[in-house]
């Protein structure tokens, strides 16, 4: 017996033909490592933009890749649904990760991402001292902070991790109700400001550590509450960062993501190092579902209404499964 979805031979042939070409196979392999734009692929593969666009068009027509628009950028991703979505993943599963060409393309992808990370890192170095003011340019802290407090509730939090903590604002906000808290950030300049802020506020139970969102310096199942506040839109792979956050979350723990809803303020990419122009609830739900956790609550905060910008901040709250004990009772942390 099989539960495989089958397709008609003409659909399968169209899919195989589309994948059966060197550059298109390389594109599929690259998309296996995350969503990319035409210009990313042009840079990595060293081919002209019209050629890459033509290959992507064929892959899209054969339903092997899907695309979505974000401002002036169009991102391409491996198809997750559709008639030939499984064909793409099956082909990639057969492709050796040690293949010389795949390795070269992955290395080039890493270089392109590193160059962008470097630009974002320089941005945070230059704005660290002024970040608390810049954060409020498009949305007032007060409303967001009230919503965060309400969403998490007033109960004591055993352990809190704030990922991409910047100047430590969220650590400060939750400090009165946390027993132990840690903020992680890649930028030493941001961490220096956070340290000064937390010392000044007298929050001695709060620690700061350098660390990368993709490789957090903690064991799995460590924290009762994990927050990611206005960080994901700077990242190349937000879904991977969410999966890493979920890894360190204790059974029954809560993950609170705060970020912008989809918007069109393209200048934020150039002037403020944003990589993504916000996230839809569908996109967030998909990333969470991929790692087996489900959003509990979504809260959209309105814009400031003073013409400062068209930005809507959204809060997404999710909870990991509690561990099931042998007697069937659910175990977990109370946060």
Ligand X SMILES: C[S@@+](CC[C@H](N)C(=O)[O-])C[C@H]1O[C@@H](n2cnc3c(N)ncnc32)[C@H](O)[C@@H]1O
Please report, as ranges, the residues that interact with ligand X according to CB under 6 A: 124, 135, 164-167, 169-170, 185-187, 190, 212-213, 229-231, 234
In 62-99, where does DSSP find H-type helix?
Answer: 85-94
Alpha-carbon 94 to chain mean position = 27
Q: Return d(Cα 280, Cα 260) in angstroms, integer.
A: 9
Q: Are 222 and 159 in contact (CB under 8 A)?
A: yes
- CA-based Rg of the chain, rounded to a whole angstrom? 22
Least Cβ distance, residue 124 to ligand X (angstroms):
4
Shorter beta-carbon distance to ligand X: residue 213 or 245: 213
Nearest-5° Cα angle at 92, 58 to 285: 85
Q: 236 with 35: CB under 8 angstroms?
A: no
Angstrom distance (rounded) from CA 210 to CA 218? 12
Q: What are the residues whose beta carbons fall under 8 Å from the beta carbon of 73, sequence distance 6 or more?
A: 37, 269, 277
- In the bound complex, which residue of the shown chain has the CB atom lying closest to ligand X? 166
Minimum CB distance to ligand X, residue 318 (Å): 18
We find the least distance from the C-beta atom of residue 139 to ligand X, in angstroms, to be 10
Q: How far is CA 113 from CA 34, 36, 185, 235, in A?
A: 11, 10, 18, 10
Return the number of the residue (86 or 209) whose C-beta is nearest ligand X. Answer: 209
Pick between residue 23 and residue 151 the one whose CB is nearest to ligand X. Answer: 151
Q: Min. distance of Cβ 46 from ligand X in angstroms?
A: 27
Return the number of the residue (79 or 175) whose C-beta is nearest ligand X: 175
Q: How many residues does the chain have?
A: 335
Pick 166 or 253: Cβ nearer ligand X: 166
Q: Between residues 212 and 221, which has the closer beta carbon with respect to ligand X?
A: 212
Closest CB 202 distance from ligand X, rounded Å? 20
What are the C-alpha distances in Å from 151 to residues 47, 119, 148, 230, 269?
Answer: 48, 34, 5, 16, 29
CA angle in degrees (0–180, nearest 5) for 192-198-204: 120
In whole angstroms, the minimum distance from the beta carbon of 100 to ligand X comes to 29
Any residues with CB less than 8 A from the CB of 17 and at least 6 apart, and which?
Answer: 62
Residue 104 beta carbon to ligand X: minimum distance, rounded to whole angstroms:
24
Nearer to ligand X, 109 or 213 (CB): 213
């Amino acid at each position: 017996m099989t539960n495989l979805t089958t397709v008609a031979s003409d659909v399968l042939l169209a899919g195989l033909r589309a994948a059966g070409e060197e550059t298109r196979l390389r594109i599929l392999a690259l998309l296996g490592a995350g969503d990319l734009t035409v210009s990313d692929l042009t840079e990595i593969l060293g081919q002209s933009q019209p050629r890459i666009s033509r290959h992507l068009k064929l892959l899209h027509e054969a339903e092997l890749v899907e695309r979505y628009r974000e401002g002036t950028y169009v991102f391409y991703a491996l198809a997750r649904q559709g008639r030939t979505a499984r064909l793409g993943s099956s082909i990639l599963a057969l492709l050796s990760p040690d293949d010389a060409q795949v390795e070269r393309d992955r290395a080039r992808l890493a270089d392109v991402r590193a160059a962008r990370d470097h630009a974002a890192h320089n941005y945070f170095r230059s704005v660290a001292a002024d970040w608390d003011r810049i954060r409020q340019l498009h949305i007032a802290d007060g409303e967001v902070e009230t919503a965060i407090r309400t969403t998490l509730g007033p109960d004591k939090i055993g352990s809190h991790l704030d990922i991409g903590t910047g100047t430590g604002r969220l650590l400060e906000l939750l400090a009165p109700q946390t027993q132990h808290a840690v903020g992680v950030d890649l930028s030493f300049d941001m961490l220096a400001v956070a340290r000064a802020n937390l010392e000044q506020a007298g929050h001695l139970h709060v620690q700061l550590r350098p660390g990368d969102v993709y490789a957090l310096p903690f064991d799995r199942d460590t924290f009762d509450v994990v927050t990611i506040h206005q960080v994901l839109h700077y990242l190349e792979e937000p879904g991977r960062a969410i999966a890493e956050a979920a890894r360190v979350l204790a059974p029954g723990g809560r993950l609170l993501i705060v970020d912008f809803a989809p918007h069109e303020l393209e200048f934020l990419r150039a002037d403020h190092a944003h990589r993504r122009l916000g996230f839809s609830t569908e996109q967030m739900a998909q990333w969470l579902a991929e790692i087996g956790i489900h959003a509990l609550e979504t809260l959209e905060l309105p814009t400031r209404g003073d013409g400062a910008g068209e930005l809507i901040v959204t809060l997404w709250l999710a909870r990991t499964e509690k561990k099931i004990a042998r007697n069937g009772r659910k175990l977990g942390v109370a946060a």
